[in-house]
Structure 1
């Protein structure tokens, strides 16, 4: 294998092309499909269940009626939602909102998996509703659908809006750095564990984007805490994580030109289309990015990178954004294959100028986002008169100067969590330009953990998904969807046709990655059937499973 890291992730064999075509079909969504018989049986049995294992005097005020969620026409079963303070102070006004989905999976009895979205200041309910929760309302869809690949079938899932003021959470965060974020988070989590009786259970941290800052710092605080046994941090997983901010050239700028060379058929910044390509190529050369790639982005790495370049002239991503705004106004840097028409988003507001985001089946004059429907707010215990939910806060929660922390690469927080847990996964979608896959990999090649720098090999093992429901293929591809590498407690995985929000664009891939984190499958190349889907897969052709009959 060549040491050069300018790998583009394109298929090299006919069977790879066939698998990727199947992956493309996973985004051609059919929203009112007939569910498999086993799933309908499972839905009916959930509706009949009255054995709530987490219900007690402390939790009963948070219990959600699983039949009261708007437009969800099945019973969600046992679930809890509400607000808890970030400290035990009597006058504490800062409270974080949570939505908890206990799992019926017998293997999940001693664990809690936390999901965090990024921003900073973006709600984790985005992940719940559009990525990995028990119901999914896809963009442009008529209504929510049952999510076969809900993470709560694998683990007890806890979605948290944080820091304070994010989503349904309330109060002013009064934070300037990640250490303060972690302190407030652990204050909330202590209160939550006491309420639900989970102290000492394994904790897994998961999230995406700016959670690449949150998770290493929160995990590091758990490790250093004198209450570390309460948290029992056992692993972490981050999707398209923002882990290198000062300088940011290694995670985005250095890899921009080869990214465009690979995907310009989609992005359209060709030579001769304005002067964008010429400016990008000039900056790439003058800022030394080409030399850095050739010399340092190798496997194994050749040494520590030189100091970064933060000059304005070297911010080539700004040229990309400028060009896309002028020649392709519908472009999406979070998933570059998406363009006009912009899909309607049920989570967004129907403010002036944003009516196009309202699902076509609803009145644009009265639509204020799915989570702000009065029935929804009442169901999940949002106090009357509390602020409306928004996907992301209007102002940076760290204040006008932003997050003053060193990034988790520089501070060592990321390294310490990897070395403590020896169970850390970082995964990226190749069609994400906001946090490019090779940019993240380039940062990791400059990082030392467990006695070695970077990976010895470029991701070269097949990331494989089994075939589950042939009549529900629109929620997951099958076969080879990407590749991966793992060394010294850290796994890095790529999904070829996913974007920034990997569990949204590749639900089966996100599900398999969580199985790997929880230790339910040997590795990402395994052909074993998904371990917690309802039904008997013993007769599924090509499943090659040793765990074919599953029950929750």
Structure 2
């Protein structure tokens, strides 16, 4: 209990992502290298993988078909897929078009269901998701070449990655959107054309995304529900990662100091600076705000005018902490705060927060002419991971936060919504998401009534044990290993599930692919909860632990230090009242260090 029990208290929730991501070894060896007793996950996946016969090929889709063995630099068949442009209206000559890449279910399932994946920004391409998160091949930062992704979401469901709104990625036309309502109208026009083209009438539709897609996804899902047409828009579930859903101050500066306290080994500020930010946290009213409102059940509606009433100095607390973190660690990445130097080469040009394409690395992958031709994109169009031009008129989205109306509407209608957050994310902070949930009304009640403390369990799988990982194996296999066990905290009430994911940054399917795969299984109804110890869909023969051996969830606390008795005594996630809390609400860095030192000596 030397490490995980030390920080029993906190977490935070941070900022709204920019249009670009400009925020945007010792040689130890195992004592004994055990023989491999069973085939590893990726070998198993490749050995048993069979590319099924095409399911969506017809006279309307031929022009969109992608040669599965012809994707540049990808040395294997990516399977049945289609990509190209479709207009956002009934007019086939409409020059306002969204670009997509659609992958059929790679296991040959004939289930009539499809999932839409959207990245955020605003203006960031969903093809980040294709190549570095949940697509059938992945090319991660600093890696040599693309490899098969055994955690690809299209193993479970037909999946489409869409570049939207107009002005994002390869999508083209006139930027006219001023609100999320406009974005949703564009999208459902595109979607109806897509359904007609691929004969997907009557399919269940699921939507997932991350970051600013916390605005996109709920508004699009809500518009689909309002259309009242299940032939084209049978909206059945929603999953959003590290999402923009609430007040900007709440989702960054208000919970920045507790976040820095919890991760103080990654942000080792000196005493004077630490004292300064703690004084600001108190004097700005942020400590009192969190103590009052990060409680269960909810204390009541949170102030609606926070952005207007908070001083410039207080609103800038997040950036102040970031600037000092960058002084200590010039490669500090707000998307994954455990990142250190050097910067890794990224095939998309953005290894974390910084644009970086070293000499000789060549053009960004999706801006290569051979890639554009392979996926039917306009070869004269300059592709950017995140658009350098506005995707909203005057770069202003006039819509209310999705947590006010759109998101509750989707929860109440589908009873199947997941809000997930990586605990190493600082661009948007966990406690900000939780505070936003506690300020949201759905199912006739405000917020969760009970604190999230249940374990989030990721099944054990091939390559999740040391005997697999350390065994003699090839580099391709090692490129696909990912974690298992209790990896955070999950909680469900009235159709909404919250899940915090340990050891993950902002892009959860990238940093914790097995965890994201489990979220998708839960969204699709393959398991009954995120605390289930049922095996993964494709590895049913792997033995799992008993549920009653899991304990509570892990990671930062999901409630304030002044929360209710039942929350404050909740085990792995708790901070006892009166203790030197890592929340930083009442207690100095010195007290935290004393507790930390004492725990290490236990």
Structure 1 partner of 2:388: 394
Specify the SS of the correspondent of 2:277: helix
Contact persistence 2:80–2:106 (CA under 8 A): no
Specify the SS of the correspondent of 2:251: helix
Contact persistence 1:111–1:202 (CA under 8 A): yes
Contact persistence 1:6–1:258 (CA under 8 A): no
Contact persistence 2:103–2:159 (CA under 8 A): yes
Contact persistence 1:260–1:267 (CA under 8 A): yes
Matches within 5 A, 1:333-412: 333-348=334-349, 356-358=356-358, 364-365=359-360, 367-385=362-380, 387-410=381-404, 412=405
The one of the two structures with greater contact order (alpha-carbon pairs below 8 A, sep at least 6) is 2
Specify the SS of the correspondent of 2:250: helix
Distance 2:379 2:323 in 1: 43
Structure 1 partner of 2:269: 269
Structure 1 partner of 2:481: 475
Q: Does 2:45 correspond to 1:39? A: yes
Matches within 5 A, 1:50-449: 51-89=53-91, 91-105=93-107, 109-245=111-247, 248-272=248-272, 275=273, 277-310=274-307, 311-315=311-315, 316-348=317-349, 356-358=356-358, 364-365=359-360, 367-385=362-380, 387-410=381-404, 412-449=405-442
**Runs (5+) with no aligned partner, structure 2:** 1-6, 13-29, 31-38, 469-476, 548-602
Structure 1 length-normalised TM: 0.85
Contact persistence 2:85–2:99 (CA under 8 A): yes
What count of residue pairs does the alignment treat as equivalent? 497
Which residue of 500, 510, 517 maps to 1:494? 500
Structure 2 length-normalised TM: 0.78
What whole-Å deviation, never above 9, does each CA across 1:55-113 have from its counterpart, x for those lacking one?
A: 00000110100000122111112111111111123542111110001104466621110
What whole-Å deviation, never above 9, does each CA across 1:275-303 have from its counterpart, x for those lacking one?
A: 4x344223322221111111221112222
Distance 2:290 2:54 in 1: 55
1:8 CA displacement = 2.9
Specify the SS of the correspondent of 1:440: helix
1:40 CA displacement = 2.6
Matches within 5 A, 1:537-548: 537-538=540-541, 540-542=542-544
Contact persistence 2:11–2:430 (CA under 8 A): no
1:199 CA displacement = 1.9
**Cα 1:482–1:59 shift into 2, 3 Å:** same
Show structure 1 runs of 4+ deviating over 6 A: none
Q: Does 2:514 correspond to 1:508? A: yes
Distance 1:430 1:380 in 2: 35
Structure 2 partner of 1:523: 529
Contact persistence 2:257–2:277 (CA under 8 A): yes
Distance 1:393 1:111 in 2: 31
1:327 CA displacement = 3.6
**Cα 1:197–1:343 shift into 2, 3 Å:** same
Distance 1:257 1:108 in 2: 49
**Cα 1:332–1:108 shift into 2, 3 Å:** farther
Distance 1:429 1:439 in 2: 12
Contact persistence 1:475–1:506 (CA under 8 A): no
Distance 2:165 2:46 in 1: 38
Specify the SS of the correspondent of 1:233: strand
1:366 CA displacement = 6.9
What whole-Å deviation, never above 9, does each CA across 1:192-234 have from its counterpart, x for those lacking one?
A: 0000011221100100000000011111111112535421100
1:496 CA displacement = 1.2
1:532 CA displacement = 3.4
Distance 1:177 1:199 in 2: 28
**Cα 1:170–1:425 shift into 2, 3 Å:** same
**Runs (5+) with no aligned partner, structure 1:** 11-24, 26-32, 359-363, 546-552
Contact persistence 1:79–1:100 (CA under 8 A): yes
**Cα 1:212–1:104 shift into 2, 3 Å:** same
Q: CA RMSD in A?
A: 2.5
